[in-house]
Amino acid sequence: MTTVLFYVFAGIAIVAAIGVVIARSPVGSLLFMVTTLAAISGTFVLMEAHFLAAVQVIVYAGAIMVLFLFVIMLLNLGHEAQRDLKWGAFSIVSAAVVGGIVGMLALDLRGSDGAVVSGAGAEAIAAATEQYGAVGAIARPLYTTYVVPFEITGILLLVAIVGAIVLAKRGSAS
């Protein structure tokens, strides 16, 4: 049952991801992206990452995608529907790059087949969730082992806020 559900969510995610690339209008592309994110959130639930699934929906599909939608609305790009795929010589380079990545990934997945199917991690996560709850299991390492990267993340967000305001302010630079 879990495997079937995983395949359903994976199929939805892949089809919607193709839709993101081939959709004509930016709004259509964005709605396909929200579908992809929701399907990925479903696969997170099936992989026992319940809190991350909730964060995925709230932060990604909620906040970041709404930010994109606001920018599309602000720049009035919703009606722009011309075909803007690059063809010609550049598509050959793109196909070569993508083909190279596909080949390397397929080689890696074939080489590691059966080597990592299960490990100690699932039991450790289940034990931590049993003891501290789904949020506490993530919050404990976040505030102990990874507390320095966590604080640096705060500085990164501050820099991003200041940078976004400075860049988007009307008539600041030049």
Q: Which of residues 155-174 bind another protein (CB under 8 A)?
A: 156-157, 159-161, 163-165, 167-168, 170, 173
Q: Tell the smallest beta-carbon distance from residue 93 to another protein (Å).
A: 8
CB 5 within 8 A of CB 42: yes
Residue keyed to tokens 């997170």: 44
61 binds another protein (CB under 8 A): no
Identify the CA nearest to 72 among candidates 132, 30, 119, 23.
30
68 binds another protein (CB under 8 A): yes
- Entry field: residues in the chain: 174
Residue keyed to tokens 């909620």: 62
Q: Tell the smallest beta-carbon distance from residue 79 to another protein (Å).
A: 13
Binding to another protein (CB under 8 A): which residues in 15-54?
17-18, 20-21, 23, 26, 29-30, 33, 36-37, 40, 43-44, 46-49, 51-52
Q: Tell me the C-alpha distance between 23 and 30, whole Å.
A: 9
Q: Tell the smallest beta-carbon distance from residue 161 to another protein (Å).
A: 7
Q: Which tokens sit at 102?
A: 């596909």
101 binds another protein (CB under 8 A): yes
Q: Tell the smallest beta-carbon distance from residue 65 to another protein (Å).
A: 9
Q: Tell me the C-alpha distance between 8 and 19, whole Å.
A: 17
Binding to another protein (CB under 8 A): which residues in 112-141?
113, 116-122, 124-125, 128, 137-138, 141
Q: Tell the smallest beta-carbon distance from residue 143 to another protein (Å).
A: 10
Q: Tell me the C-alpha distance between 103 and 145, whole Å.
A: 36
